[in-house]
Structure 1
Amino acid sequence: MDLDAFIATHVGQWRRLEDLVRRRRLSGAEADELLDLYQRVSTHLSVVRSASPDPSLVSYLSALLARARHTATGTRPTTWRTFTRFFTETFPAALYRTRAWWIATAVLSVLAALAVGAWSVRNPEIFAQQMTPAEIDAYVGTDFENYYSEFPGAEFAAQVWTNNAWIAAQCIALGVLGLPVLWILAQNVLNIGIAGGLMASHGRASLFFGLILPHGLLELTAVFIAAAVGLRLFWSWIEPGPRTRLQSLAAEGRTGAAIALGLVVVLFVAGMIEGFVTGTDLPTWVRVGIGAVVEAAFLAYVFVVGGRAARRGVTGDVAESDREASAPVAA
C-alpha cells in the first residue's frame, strides 16, 4: 500500500474528526457525523496496522479515536449533585432497606451485653481471674474515666474513629464468611458487658453509662449496622432467592459498599463526640443528652429520609446502567 497516497486520500476526514472532538457542543447532525467518521477512521487504523504499520500514524489515529470515543460516550464526573444524592438517597435507602437486620443485631447484642454484665456482677470471681485487686481498684477508681480525657480531643477522636472504622470494615469485608462477624460481635459484647459489670459491682454504674452513652449510642449503632451488613452478605449466597448466588452476592456487596462509605461519616461524628464531649466537664445529663439527640437525628435520617427514598424505588445499589445485565426472574 502506498502510505503517502492513503494519507492524502483520508487526511481530510481525520482533520474533520479532530475539529469535531475539539468542540464543546455538537448539534444532532454533527454528532451523527462524528459517529460516522469514528467508524471510518477505525477502518483506516485497521488498514494501516495490517498493510503498513507506520508507528507514528498508528499512534496518531489511535489517539484521535480515543478522543472521539470520549466525546461520543461522554463521562459522568463526580459532582456535588452526585455527592448529595448519595447522602440523601443511596445511603439512607440502603440503611432503611436493611433495617430489620441491623435492628435485630442491635437488640440481640445489647441484651447479650446486659446479660454478661448481670452475670459478671453475680460472679465477681471472673474479675479476679483477669486482674489483680490493685488493677481493679485503679480501673474502677481512675483508669476508666481518665481514658476519655488523657489525650487531646482531636487526637483521641482520630484514634477512636480509625479503630471503629477498622472494626466496621472487618465486619463487612469478612461478612461473606459469616463466622468472623459473629466473633467480632461477641468480642464487643463481652468487653462492654464485663466492663459494665465491673463498674456496677463497685457502685460506679452511673459513671460507666455516663461515659459510654454520649458517643456509644451512635458508635455502637454503626458497628451493629456494619455487622448486620456482613451477616446479610453471608446470607445472600446461602439463600439467594430467585437470583443466582453470584448475582445475589454481587447485589448485596454493592449495597454493602455504599453503606460502608456512609458509615465512615457516621463513625467520624461518633468519634468527634467521644473526643470533644464524652471526656469533658459538662454535666452528665448534657453529655448523654447530646448523644441521644445525635442518635435520634440519625434514626430520623434513616426512617424519614431513607424511607422516602426507598418508597421511590431507591435500593442503595449502583445505578442500573452500571450493573451487569440480567434476565427477569419469577418471584
Structure 2
Amino acid sequence: MDIDAYVAAHRDQWDRLDQLTSRRRLTGAEADELVTLYRATAGHFSRIRTGAPDPALLAQLSTRIAAARGRITGTREARASDLRRFWGTSVPAALYRLRWWTLAVTVLEVAIAVVVGVWTLRTPEAMSALGPQSNLDTYAHESFEDYYSNYAASEFAGQVWTNNARVAALCVAGGITGLLPAYILLANAVNLGQAGAVMADHDLLAQFFALITPHGLLELTCVFVAGAAGLKLFWTMLDPGGRSRGAALAAEGRALITVAVGLTAALAVAGFIEAFVTPASLPWILKGLIGLLALAVFWAYTLLLGRRAVLAGHTGDLDADEAGAVQLEVG
C-alpha cells in the first residue's frame, strides 16, 4: 500500500469527520453523514493497520474515531444531581441491603474477639506466644497509647485512612473467593482479642477501651460492613436466586462497589477521629461520646435514608442506562 496516496485519497473525508464531530448541533442529514464517515474511517484505520502500519497515522485516526464515537453515542457529564443521587440514594440503599449481613458479622467478630481475649488471658502459653514479657510490658504501658501520637495528626490520619480503605476494598474485591474476607475478619478479631488480653493482663483494660472507642466504633463497623459485602458477593455466586449467575454477580458486584466508595468516606471520618480526637487531651467520656455520635450518624444514614431508598426501588446498582445492556433471561 502506498500510504501517502491512501492518505491523500481520504484526507477530505477525515477532515469532514472532524468538522462534524466538533459541531455543537447537527441536522438530520449531517448526523447521518457523521455516522457514515465514522464507519468509513474505522475501515480506513483497520486497512492501514493491516497493510501499512504507520504509528503516527494510526494514533491520529484512533483519536478521530474515538471523538466521533463519543459524538455519536453521546457523553454523560457528571452533575450535582448525580452526586446527590449517589450519596443520598445509592450508597444508603446498598448499605441498607447489607444490614443483616453486617449485624451477623458484627456479632461473630465480637464473639471471636471475646473468646480469643479470654482464652489468651487465662492461658499462660497463649500469652507467652505473643512475645517476651518485656515486649508485652512495653506494648501495654507505652506502645499502645503512643501509637496514636507518634506522627503528626494530619499525616497519621492519612495513613490510617489509606490502610483502612485498602482493607475494606480487599474485603469487597476479594469477596468472590469467600476466603479473603473471612481471613481478614478472622485476623481482625484475633488481633483485637489479643490486644485486649495484653492490656487486661496489665490492669489497663479500661485504657484499652478508652483509646479504641472514639474511632474504633465507626472504624470497626466499616470493616464489618466490608466483610459482610464480600461474603454476600460470595453467597450470591453460590445462590444467584432467580437470575443467572453472571447477571446476579454483575448486579451485586456493582452495588458492592458503591458500598466500598461509601465506606471510604466513613473511614475518612474514622481516621480523622483517630488522629485528632483519640490522642487529644479531652475527657475520655467526651471522646467516647464523639465515637458514639459518629456511629449513630452512620447507622441513621444507613437505616433511615437506606430504607427510604430501597422502598423506592433502589439497590445501589447503576441505573439501566449506566450499567449497559444485559442479556435477556427467560424463566
Q: What interval of TM-score do these two structures reach, taking the shorter chain for normalisation? A: 0.7 to 0.9
Q: Is the 8 A contact 1:41 1:65 kept in 2?
A: no
Q: Is the 8 A contact 1:48 1:58 kept in 2?
A: no
> For residues 217 and 81 of structure 1, what CA distance do their matches in structure 2 show?
31
Partner of residue 249, structure 1:
249
Residue 42 of structure 1 deviates from its aligned partner by: 5.4
Q: Is the 8 A contact 2:219 2:270 kept in 1?
A: yes
Partner of residue 323, structure 1:
324
Q: Is the 8 A contact 2:97 2:315 kept in 1?
A: yes
Question: Helix, strand or coil: the match of 1:151?
Answer: coil
Q: Does 1:233 align with 2:233?
A: yes
Gaps of 5+ in 1: none
Kindly provide the CA deviation profile for residues 19-68 of structure 1, in whole angstroms up to 9, marking residues without a partner as x: 66544345xxx2x22333235545766998999x9x9x999999777655
Q: In 2 relative to 1, CA 114–77 (structure 1 residues): closer, same or farther, beyond 3 Å? A: same
Q: How many residues align?
A: 321
Kindly provide the CA deviation profile for residues 218-271 of structure 1, in whole angstroms up to 9, marking residues without a partner as x: 111111111111111111111111222222222222112221122211111111
> For residues 47 and 120 of structure 1, what CA distance do their matches in structure 2 show?
70
Q: TM-score if structure 1 supplies the norm length?
A: 0.84
Root mean square deviation of aligned Cα: 3.4
Identity over aligned pairs, percent = 43
Structure 1 segment 40-59 matched on structure 2, within 5 A: 40-41=36-37
Partner of residue 160, structure 2:
160
Partner of residue 34, structure 1:
30
> For residues 132 and 59 of structure 1, what CA distance do their matches in structure 2 show?
63
Partner of residue 122, structure 2:
122
Structure 1 segment 245-284 matched on structure 2, within 5 A: 245-284=245-284
Letter aligned with residue 158 of structure 1: G
Q: Considering only CA atoms, is the larger Rg found in Structure 1 or Structure 2?
A: 1
Structure 1 segment 185-264 matched on structure 2, within 5 A: 185-264=185-264
Residue 129 of structure 1 deviates from its aligned partner by: 2.8
Q: Is the 8 A contact 1:175 1:181 kept in 2?
A: yes
Question: Helix, strand or coil: the match of 2:264?
Answer: helix
Question: Helix, strand or coil: the match of 1:149?
Answer: coil
Q: TM-score if structure 2 supplies the norm length?
A: 0.84
Q: In 2 relative to 1, CA 196–218 (structure 1 residues): closer, same or farther, beyond 3 Å? A: same
Q: Is the 8 A contact 1:242 1:329 kept in 2?
A: no
Q: In 2 relative to 1, CA 197–254 (structure 1 residues): closer, same or farther, beyond 3 Å? A: same
Residue 119 of structure 1 deviates from its aligned partner by: 2.4
Q: Is the 8 A contact 2:38 2:68 kept in 1?
A: no
Q: Is the 8 A contact 1:17 1:34 kept in 2?
A: no
Q: In 2 relative to 1, CA 151–47 (structure 1 residues): closer, same or farther, beyond 3 Å? A: closer
Partner of residue 95, structure 1:
95
Gaps of 5+ in 2: none
Partner of residue 147, structure 1:
147
Question: Helix, strand or coil: the match of 1:174?
Answer: helix
Q: In 2 relative to 1, CA 21–235 (structure 1 residues): closer, same or farther, beyond 3 Å? A: same
Q: In 2 relative to 1, CA 286–15 (structure 1 residues): closer, same or farther, beyond 3 Å? A: same
> For residues 255 and 235 of structure 1, what CA distance do their matches in structure 2 show?
14
Letter aligned with residue 247 of structure 2: Q
